[in-house]
Amino acid sequence: MKTVFSGIQPSGLVHLGNLLGAINNWVKLSNDESKNYFCIVDLHSLTAMPDKTSLKTSIRDTLKVLMASGINMKNSVIYVQSDLKEHAYLSWILSNFCQVGELQRMTQFKEKSNSFGTHSGLLTYPILMAADILIHKANEVPVGDDQTQHLELTRNIADRFNNNYGDIFPIPEKTSGKSGARLMSLRHPENKMSKSSDDINGTIYFNDSKDSIIKKFKSSVTDSHNEIKYDLESKPGISNLIEIYSAINATELKETEKQFQDFRYGDFKLAVAETVINYLEPIAEKFEEISDSEVDSAVENNLKLAKVSAELTISEIETALGID
């Protein structure tokens, strides 16, 4: 049985991009013949210096959204990264199998250092990500294109460790199957849909009201023409709406184009809005139904399972290194 690992940062309210880009795929994976570890990677979020109270709330809310999304818990383990100290411990060990130059060449480091500075946490972020993946000996990792470079570094680190100390780690692959949609902001379609408050009108949050969703789609940026066509270069706004509709309805982009070829932009926006409302409604309702005790119980039970897996891996690593 293959092992899958994936993580999500608790850096704000879960939005439509998180659901269709990652969590929707997790739901599908949870019903496959695989062992799945889905992690709230709160240690990664520290690189942006989050507010303490907001972070605690985001961690809790993200856990509840995952539970409400329909993930099959029978073969899935959902837990919080900071609750499993083996992540940080393995990160230190793996740092000895990675070159500083490799980290400095990471595209995300170059981009994010402009906003958060060049502190060492931002630089070594990919090593912690490698530890996240390797702590459970994951064979497959569902990641977007923006994380492919980090996964490649993880593969290199695992390979170097194995060459020196024996075949401890499987070399993880990017997950097979269709990847999740990469949704862009409704107001700034050149940027990804974001949890940040400065793009609140361009982001659809999982618990947005029906009226709010319709309002956001009505004000979404398109272009001066009136053709429903997928063209990222000249029609990024309309292309984003096509992507959203296609992801929710599991249809090909061309099918969506054909379905709405005679629609005006305003009518198309409303059609996408209604689809999003119908998709989010049961998730938001389930979210409200989940009690604090249910969350606590799930966290406790899942953490035990994650800890067993992590301790087995660490024991093998320490024996291989001679520090057991």
Beta carbons within 10 angstroms of residue 145's beta carbon: 9
- Residues 237, 244: Cα–Cα separation, whole Å: 11
Q: What are the distances in angstroms from CA 72 to CA 31, 211, 257, 288, 298? A: 6, 31, 33, 19, 13
Q: At residue 145, what are phi and psi to the nearest 5 degrees?
A: -60, -30
Beta carbons of 292 and 74 less than 8 angstroms apart? no
3-class DSSP assignment, residue 166: coil
- Residues 288, 48: Cα–Cα separation, whole Å: 29
Annotated active-site residue 218? The verdict is no
Residue among 28, 174, 192, 307 flagged as catalytic: 192
Annotated active-site residue 192? The verdict is yes
* DSSP β-bridge partners for residue 7: 39
DSSP 129-165: HHHHHHTTT-SEE---GGGHHHHHHHHHHHHHHHHHH
Residue among 195, 216, 235, 269 flagged as catalytic: 195
Nearest alpha carbon to residue 248 among 271, 227, 264 = 271
- The residues near 100 (Cβ < 8 Å, ≥ 6 apart) are 123
Annotated active-site residue 28? The verdict is no
End-to-end Cα spacing for the chain: 28
The HSE-up count of residue 260 (CA atoms within 13 Å, CB side) is 28
The HSE-up count of residue 251 (CA atoms within 13 Å, CB side) is 16
By the 10 Å C-beta count (0-12 exposed, 13-18 middle, 19+ buried), 198 is classed as exposed
Residue among 28, 112, 174, 215 flagged as catalytic: 112
Among all residues, which ones are annotated catalytic? 112, 192, 195
